[in-house]
Amino acid sequence: MRNVLIYEEASFNLDVPYKLIETGDKGKKPLIVYLHGYNQNIEYLEKKTAPLLKLKAFHLFIQAPYPIYDTSRKLKVSQWGRAWYLYDGTQEQFLQSMENASRFILEIIEDVKEKIEISRLCLFGYSMGGYLGGYFALSRWKRVNDLIVIGGRIKTEAFDGKREQARHIRILALHGKDDDSVYPEPQQQCVELLKSEGFNAEFKLVEAGHKLESIFMEESKDWLKESGYVESS
């Protein structure tokens, strides 16, 4: 005979790094929060977004909490890629996982804001980080001014009846024409819906695939400068 006496859950904590970079003169300025894609980390994203570091701002790179095991066994744990949430095809699990990740991100932002003075907040999310960036912006709308989503999708359906309060957020959705990992049409439909509801939202297709290519950085920087962000001399 076999009896299961206990079947419970326990919390297990992992240390997750984040990095804050300041560019330009000291003082009050925008905060840009960067969310990397699946199986990536903050070192990778910092290199890829180097053109944006020319803007006068605080740049916050946050690493996702879930480690992706390196099957090659060539990388140290600190070099492993990471994931932002756990997705098994179940929408309830998906949304709950993104909610947990959003709470985690907000804790870091609130901690950072105690040390600096910011004028506005921009979320920059690529792929998996783009999905999360959209969720964070629509769920924590009071804290977000600008949103850039690259190769992802803003899950507008998760906020049916609750999107109006986030209408002040300016949105840029960039997608590669040849992206066969995340197809552009669903994202375009979401942006069109937001525009019909009065959002200042733009969807733009560029000559790229799903990789975080330089064209995405150029478009993002130009859009931020149009929004009032200033480039360092």
Residue 97 host element (H or E):
helix 91-113
SS3 83: strand
Q: What angle do CA 71, 126, 76 make, to 5 degrees?
A: 30
The model's pLDDT over 123-181, given as tens digits with 9 standing for 90+, comes to: 999 999 999 999 999 999 999 999 999 999 999 999 999 999 999 999 999 999 999 99
What is the C-alpha to C-alpha distance for residues 111 and 137, in angstroms, rounded to an integer?
18
pLDDT of residue 117: 96
Paired tokens of 61: 């790179």
The model's pLDDT over 33-91, given as tens digits with 9 standing for 90+, comes to: 999 999 999 999 999 999 999 999 999 999 999 999 999 999 998 899 999 998 888 88
Q: What is the mean pLDDT of the chain?
A: 95
DSSP assignment letter at 159? G
Nearest to 182 by CA among 133, 128, 137, 218: 128
Share of the chain above pLDDT 70, in %: 100
What is the C-alpha to C-alpha distance for residues 118 and 57, in angstroms, rounded to an integer?
9
Order of strands, sheet of 57-62, starting from the edge strand that comes earlier in the sequence: 18-23, 57-62, 29-35, 118-126, 146-150, 170-176, 201-206
What is the C-alpha to C-alpha distance for residues 183 and 180, in angstroms, rounded to an integer?
6
Task: Count CA atoms within 13 Å of residue 59 on its CB side.
Answer: 18
Paired tokens of 83: 């994931």
SS3 176: strand
Paired tokens of 167: 């209408």
The model's pLDDT over 182-218, given as tens digits with 9 standing for 90+, comes to: 999 999 999 999 999 999 999 999 999 999 999 999 9
